């Protein structure tokens, strides 16, 4: 089986039931990827959150950019394709403090704020992340394999780690 890479860029959302699809977010620094997987429907989704709240965005920014709007949109998109909210397994990745030495006009610690906003949005959807790989100072690249729900997380310093669809982190 050949893999079909689907890029999930900043502020984007993707959902797939194609077992050959691999959803990928590259270079997550302060951004957060939320991965969702329904093991019965074999359906996966990913959102690439840039900012914690739509209250700090511009009116022309898409709702997938913000944790408060994007997470509910991801859940709705998954349900529209046949996933059941009760079966969704979620993981949170990213939220690094890669710009710790700089003050960006009040957006310092944006990675931690993104992680907290994503957790809150998931809690409001009655979802609990099964696994997290968040914080630190290194950016991450994330791949969600639709065939089995496995997540591959890659960092420059730590190499690759895998999370199963059950949320168990295993190093490679």
Instruction: Give residue limits of the domains in the chain.
Output: 4-171
Name the stretches of the chain with pLDDT < 70. 1, 57-60, 99-108, 158-160, 162-172
Q: Look up the pTM and report it.
A: 0.88
**pLDDT attached to residue 172:** 38
Active site amino acids? 31
Query: Alpha-carbon distance 129 to 27, whole Å?
Result: 21
Pick the CATH number of 4-171 from 3.40.50.300, 3.30.1330.200, 3.30.365.10, 3.90.280.10: 3.30.1330.200
Q: Please state the φ and ψ torsions of residue 9, each to the nearest 5 degrees.
A: -80, 175
**Looking at 1-119, which runs of residues are DSSP E strands?**
4-7, 13-16, 21-28, 32-38, 43-49, 89-94
**pLDDT attached to residue 98:** 79
């Amino acid at each position: 089986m050949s893999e079909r890479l689907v890029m999930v860029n900043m502020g984007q959302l993707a959902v797939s039931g194609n077992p050959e699809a691999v959803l990928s977010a590259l270079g997550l620094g302060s951004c957060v990827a939320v991965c969702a997987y329904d093991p019965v429907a074999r359906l996966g989704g990913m959102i690439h959150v840039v900012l914690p709240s739509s209250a700090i965005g511009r009116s022309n920014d898409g709702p997938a950019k913000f944790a408060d709007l994007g997470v509910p949109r991801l859940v709705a998109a998954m349900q529209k394709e046949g996933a059941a909210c009760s079966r969704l397994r979620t993981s949170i990745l990213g939220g690094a403090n890669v710009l710790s030495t700089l003050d960006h006009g009040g957006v310092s610690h944006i990675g931690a704020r993104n992680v907290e906003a994503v957790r809150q949005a998931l809690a409001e959807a009655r979802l609990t992340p099964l696994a997290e790989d968040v914080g630190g100072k290194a950016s991450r690249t994330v791949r969600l394999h639709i065939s089995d729900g496995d997540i591959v997380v890659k960092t420059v310093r730590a190499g690759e780690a895998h999370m199963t669809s059950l949320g168990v982190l295993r190093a490679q």
